[in-house]
Amino acid sequence: MRIPMKTLAVIAVTAMTLGACGQNDVTTPTQPAPATTDAAPPDTTEPDDDGATFAVFFVRSTPTRFYVEPEFKPGSDVDAENPLAAATEALNLLFAASEPTDPSAPTDPELFTSIPEGVTLNSITLDGNTAVVDVSGLLGTSGASAQETTLLLQITHTATYATGATGIQLLFDGNVEDELYGHVDVSQVIEVSDFDLTPVTIVSPAYGATAPVGDVTFSGEALVFEANVVITLVNQDTGATLYAGSTMATAGGPDRGDWEWTYTFTDPGTYTLTAAESDPSDGEGRPPYGALRTIVIG
């Protein structure tokens, strides 16, 4: 039985169903363990502060379900203030990211894409609050129900983030189709939902970033109980917990807000920050989700 498209945003699929993607479940502890390896994160170069970046949404697997979240990628010299131009660039980056060696591929190794290689964008237009996304190369591919669900979420969030649309109508070389892989009805508008996104994200610093000794501000988004974001900072070199507390997002669930937290680093080294949900259920519900970011100071 096909799943109606309007329920797509709240589908909770188990991580075991995406074996075709080659991903293992990722357990993200609220209190991160000390590093078990001396290897530092890759030294990546963040985009120039004055350069435009584009939100490209990838998949994260957790023990209970899949989420999507953005990485901000530098793109070509387009008018990033023009919603359709920005969406076109973001979708082109998303489809190019199916090739692992492409610069637009996810930097965080725990993020991945469900979109098969060879998909290209024909066009994106706006019809009221709906972004009409026309693609080539997707129809005729095959995959499991989890891959179908997550790739549609990737396209939906990438297109709507840039345009401000509330959903997308997916076209295949100009045509509406009833289904893609036989599990989800794609003939209707796919509506975007904040509940598709990881409960807490860390947007800055980027994965693998380096910073000098001094103040570093961590920031991101959160959809959490009473806007409470649990913060833990660990020195990976010594295993010492430098901070265990919390900060507040600008909104609490069911709304999604922004959060930021600043720490003054006094010593060079490798550090991991976790920004997590609290657990109002006292262990009765699913494990609280936590986002990790490792940064090299020195």
pLDDT (0 to 100) of residue 6: 36
Number of domains in the chain: 2
The predicted model gives 178-204 an average pLDDT of 94
Task: Give Cβ neighbours of residue 55 (< 8 Å, ≥ 6 apart).
Answer: 70, 71, 72, 90, 158, 161, 162
**Same domain membership, residue 275 and residue 166:** no
pLDDT value for 50: 55
Please work out, in degrees rounded to the nearest 5, the angle formed at the alpha carbon of residue 28 by the alpha carbons of 214 and 102. 75
Q: Check: CB of residue 97 under 8 Å from CB of residue 116.
A: no
Domain finish residue from 196, 223, 244:
196
Quick one: 213 and 101 in the same domain?
no
173 and 108 in a single domain? The answer is: yes
In a shared domain, residues 192 and 204 = no
| pLDDT tens digits for range 122-147 | 999 999 999 999 999 999 888 899 99
| Residues 168 and 207 placed together within one structural domain of the fold | no
Domain end marker among 196, 220, 238: 196
Kindly state whether residues 70 and 177 are assigned to the same domain.
Answer: yes
Q: Tell me the residue range of the domain where 66 lies.
A: 5-196
Structure tokens belonging to residue 170: 């997916």
Phi, psi of 146 (to 5 degrees): -65, -40
Same domain, 148 and 39: yes
Q: Kindly state whether residues 27 and 60 are assigned to the same domain.
A: yes
Same domain, 68 and 120: yes
d(CA 214, CA 75): 30
148 has pLDDT over 60: yes
Looking up residue 285, the CATH number of its domain turns out to be 2.60.40.10
pTM of the complete model: 0.80
- At 80 the pLDDT is 82
H helix count then E strand count, the chain: 2, 15
Sign of CA pseudo-dihedral 49, 158, 98, 124 = negative
Same domain, 191 and 206: no
Look at 292 and 63; give whichever has higher pLDDT. 292
Segment among 38-52, 123-137, 260-274 with least mean pLDDT: 38-52
Are 121 and 88 spatial neighbours (Cβ–Cβ below 8 Å)? Answer: yes
pLDDT digits (tens, 9 = 90+) for 73-87: 999 888 888 999 999
SS3 247: strand
Q: Per residue in 197-236, pLDDT tens?
A: 999 999 999 998 999 999 999 999 999 999 999 999 999 9
212 and 124 part of one domain? no
pLDDT bucket at 266, cuts 50 / 70 / 90: very high
**Could you report the per-residue pLDDT of 13-33, keeping only the tens digit for each?**
333 333 333 333 323 333 222
User: Do 29 and 105 reside in the same domain of the chain?
Assistant: yes
Domain end among 147, 172, 196 = 196
